A and B are shown apart, each in its own frame.
Chain A
C-alpha cells in the first residue's frame, strides 16, 4: 500500500508535514506494509491536508481530506490494517467534481507524482517529448508543431510562443539563452508555484526542448525568493536530470549540450517585464528599457534570449509528445489549449483550476468553485492582477479566452481570479491595486512614477470620505496619460483596475463622493455603527468598546455615541444577537 500526502505550500501550511510524520511513525511502530510518500499540490487547496491511499497495484483506493495529525490513527486502524475505507474522512462526491470538471495538461502530474523523484516523472511519460525532439525533429519542426498547437504565452501578454522561439532561433549568435520567468509576482496567482513544487521536471523538459530549438546551451530559471520550497525542489530536479543524462553534455547521445541554473529573484514586480528581468539577471536594478531591440535579438548579456513563463514551458512536453493538433483541439479558435486559474477570494472552494480556454466565467466560479462564501451576492471577479480589471457579475457569461476577457477591460494575465462579493468595496479595490503598482513602479517613466502616485492620492481621498466633484473625470484623464506615457507593461496597464471599476461601478464612486457613503459598508471613514432593536442589553459590546462609546442599562437597549466611536468594529464582532448594524 502507498500513502501519499499532498505537500504543496498550502498543504504544508495546513499541517501536511505533521500528518506525514505521524503516518510514517505509525506504519513503523505497527510494522505495517505500506510506504509513505509526498506529492505536490493536489489542487483542492480548501481541503488540505489531503492524503491518497493507493493499492499495491497502483490504483487509488481512497482520497482522504482534512487529515490532520490526530486523524491518522483512525485511517491507519481502518484502512491500512483492515482494508476498510474510512468513510468519515473520505472526499465527498461534490468535492470530487472540483477536479473532474477540469482538463489538466499543465497540472497533469501535480498531486500525483513525487516531485522529488525523477523516476516517477519518467514513469508517466516524462522526457518522452525531449527524446522525440532530439531523436527525430529539427528545430524548425518543433516550431511548426508549436504553430499548429496555437500555444500563446501564459505569463500575461498571450503572445504566440512559436513566434518568439522562431525569432530567437533565426537571430544569429553562438551564445544564446533560454530563460524561464518564474518570478510569479501577481498578488493572487500561484499556478507557477504549483508546477515548480509539484512537477519541476516538466518545466526542465520544456526548457531543454526550447534550448535545442533556438540553439541555446544554457538555461536560467529566474525564481521568486519567496518560494523556498520551489527552489529546493528545482535544485533536486536539476541534479537528478543531470545524473540521468537529460541535462549536461551530449544529452541522450544527440550531441546537444544544455545546462540549467537557478537565479533567485529579490522581489520586484516589474521584473516580470522581459527587459527588466534581464537587467535583474545581470545583477542590476530591474528597470525596463525600450524595445526594439527585442530580447530575441539582444537579451541577456546582449545575446539572443528567449523568455517564457513556467506555465508556457509546462505545456511544451505535452504538445511534442501528443502533437500540436491534439493540444489545439482544446479551447477556442484563437485561444487554444487549457489555462490554469488561481481561484481565490470570496469563493467557497478555492484552489488551482485548469480548464479549456473559452469556458464561461460562471462555470468556473459556480460550477467548479461552488459559488460565494456564506452564499453572499456575487459582485465581480478580478482578473489579471494589478494589470487587469474587475468584471461585473452581469458579464459572468463571458467566455474565458484572451479576446473576450480583453473586451471587458480586464486581461487573462497570468490567471489570477479573485472573486468578490457584496462586501467588497470596488473603490477600495482600485485603491489597493494602485497602491501596489505605485510601490512597484521602477520610477523610470514620469507618468508611471508620479501619475500612479497622484491617482492613488485621489483614491485615498475618496475612500476617506473627502472625494469631490471632478475626481472621477480627473482619474480617467490621469489613467489615460499614464497608459500612454509609460514604457513598459507595468505602467501601461496600471490604470486598468481604476478604469474598469469606474466603467462598471461608477455608482460606487459617486456614492462615496456625493453621498459620503460606502456602498459595500467597507470604508472605515464612511461607515457608521448602530445598535438595533434586536439588542438584548447583555452589555458585552459596552465592555468590549475601547473608547467607552457604548452606554445602556443591563437588559436595556444600548446606544453608540457617534462622536466617541472609532469604528473598530469590536461591538459588531462580539454581539451574539446580530444587533449591531454597519451602514
Chain B
C-alpha cells in the first residue's frame, strides 16, 4: 500500500498542507488535528487530500475515512461561500427552528446539507450553538468571518440571507 500511495501523493502537490504534516505526522494521536487543518485549508476533505494524509502518516485511507465520517465537523464535499449553520438545539426547537428551516429551504431551494446552484450558500442544520437565549439562532460562516443571528423569524431570516448576498 505504502509505496504506491507515497508515489501518487507528493508534498509538492500540497504546499499548504505539507508544513502541517511536517509538524504533526510524527506525533501520536494527531489525526483529528491534521484533518481539521486540512479542512481549514481546502474547505473540505477530498479523496486526494485523504490520500496525501495517508501517505504522510502511514494510516490507511480507510482508517482516515472512518475518523472523518465519525465526526460532524468533517465534510467530504465542498461547500458554498457562506455556510449557514442553523441551530436545532432544544431551546431553538421549541422556539420554532423547524419553521425557520422551511423558510430557508423555500427561499434558497436547498435542503439540509445542500449548496445553492450559484455556490453562495450551504445549509447545515446543527445540534447546538449554545446561544439558547437567542433562540431560534443561526451562525453564518462567510468570507468576512462568523456571525450569529438570533431571535429569527421566517421573515428576518430571509432578510439576513439577502443582506449577506448583497455584501457580495
Contacts and interface: CB of A to CB of B under 8 A. Distances in A.
Nearest to A382: B90
Nearest to B128: A187
A155 to B, nearest CB: 15
B129 interface: yes
A190 to B, nearest CB: 4
Contacts, number: 132
Interface in A393-440: 416, 418, 420, 424, 429, 432-433, 436, 440
B29 A187 contact: no
A385 interface: yes
A355 interface: no
B82 interface: no
Interface stretch (A137-145, A224-232, A486-494): A224-232
A346 B95 contact: yes
Contacts of A184: 130
A22 to B, nearest CB: 17
B29 A283 contact: yes
Nearest to B30: A283
Interface in A39-71: 45-46
Contacts of B28: 282-283, 301
A189 B148 CA distance: 17
Contacts of A418: 90-91, 94, 132
Contacts of A269: 127
B135 to A, nearest CB: 6
Interface residues of A, number: 54
Contact of B89 (A9, A12, A187, A193): A187
A284 interface: yes
Interface stretch (B1-9, B13-21, B65-73): B65-73
Contacts of B130: 9, 184, 189-190, 193, 226-227
Chain B interface SS verdict (over half): mixed
Contact of A282 (B29, B70, B94, B150): B29
B126 interface: yes
A280 interface: yes
Nearest to A385: B90
Interface string A489-521: 000000000000000000000000000000000
B91 A13 contact: no
Interface of A: 9-10, 12-14, 45-46, 184-190, 193, 225-228, 263-269, 280-286, 301, 342, 344-346, 350-351, 382, 385, 416, 418, 420, 424, 429, 432-433, 436, 440, 442, 569, 573
Given A301-B29, A344-B91, A345-B90, 6 more contacts: A13-B149, A184-B130, A188-B91, A193-B130, A266-B71, A286-B71
